[in-house]
Amino acid sequence: MNNKAPIGIFDSGVGGTSIWKEIHKQLPHEATIYLADSINAPYGNKTKEEILSLCIKNTEHLISLGCKIIIIACNTATTNAITYLRNHYQIAFIGIEPAIKPAALMSKTSSIGILATKGTLSSELFVETSKALALNIKITEVVGEGLVKLIENGEIASPQTTVLLKKYLEPMLAANIDYLVLGCSHYPYLIEQLKKLLPDNIQIIDSGQAVARQTQLVLSSNDLLSTSLIKTKT
Ligand code: DGL
């Protein structure tokens, strides 16, 4: 595999560009191909089988374009399909999972909130991880029903989005959380809105930087880091 080959990134839509931004910041010498499967968005309410079959299609497309590694920039896709993909394709995969572990470790109120899709919160991978952490900490899980569609439509600050966010934050505020985990790669686009609705003592945490760091590590250990700046044609 050529180290100048592009990094392939996919998501159900525009959400994974929040991850792409971090990749570009931390690995500016890398070429990237971003696949937004917007026609099939949202993934969050689909069955595991449907999510898996879309992930296989996205993976095969990125492999056919010569990618050297694939970033699944979608929590729903990662938690439902990464094990299968790793077992069936030779290419390395980087996934994204809700950052509940760091939030649980840093929480002083021993109470954290997570906003994610139904597909992520009900996945085996997420249920197992949260079960282990829930022994020491209270985790308030809320499905962000409808948010992905609004973000895909560019309605980041619309009244409808604010109404939904207020509703979803209510049980978390009642549980005295001090960390809000964004468990969907679309949600970082709501950070400004969320900050307006949350008291100052609540930190918002997402997984973008961690994914970029992990990508760098895996590329470097496989000797696949691109070292030269990409020249763009003008
Ligand atoms: N951006 C996605 C995630 O991280 C998928 C959301 C969806 O399509 O429902 O979960």
CA of 174 to the centre of ligand 1 (A): 26
Which residue range is the domain that position 62 belongs to? 7-96+209-221
Identify whether 75 is part of a domain.
yes
Q: What is the pTM of this model?
A: 0.93
Identify whether 214 is part of a domain.
yes
Which atom of ligand 1 sits closest to the CA of residue 96? 4
Active site residue 55: no
- pLDDT score of 135 more than 90: no
Kindly state the average pLDDT of the residues 39-66: 97
Identify whether 2 is part of a domain.
no
CA of 216 to the centre of ligand 1 (A): 23
- pLDDT score of 45 more than 50: yes
Do 201 and 216 reside in the same domain of the chain? no
- pLDDT score of 66 more than 70: yes
Which of 74, 148, 151, 224 is an active site residue? Answer: 74
Q: Distance (Å, rounded) from C-alpha 125 to C-alpha 155? A: 31
Residues near 74 by beta carbon (within 8 Å), at least 6 away in sequence: 10, 11, 12, 15, 16, 43, 96, 184, 185
**Which residue is closest in CA terms to ligand 1's atom 9?**
44
Q: Distance (Å, rounded) from C-alpha 32 to C-alpha 72? A: 13
Identify whether 87 is part of a domain.
yes
Identify whether 1 is part of a domain.
no
Do 198 and 204 form a contact (C-beta atoms < 8 A)? Answer: yes
Q: What is the CATH number of the domain that holds 33?
A: 3.40.50.1860
CA of 120 to the centre of ligand 1 (A): 8
Identify whether 193 is part of a domain.
yes
Active site residue 74: yes
The candidate with the shortest Cα–Cα distance to 81, out of 45, 37, 50, is 50
Q: Distance (Å, rounded) from C-alpha 16 to C-alpha 36? A: 8
What sign does the dihedral 103-104-106-109 (CA atoms) show?
positive
Identify whether 227 is part of a domain.
no
Give residues (CB < 6 A) around ligand 1.
11-12, 15, 41-44, 74-76, 117, 120, 148, 184-186
- pLDDT score of 105 more than 90: yes
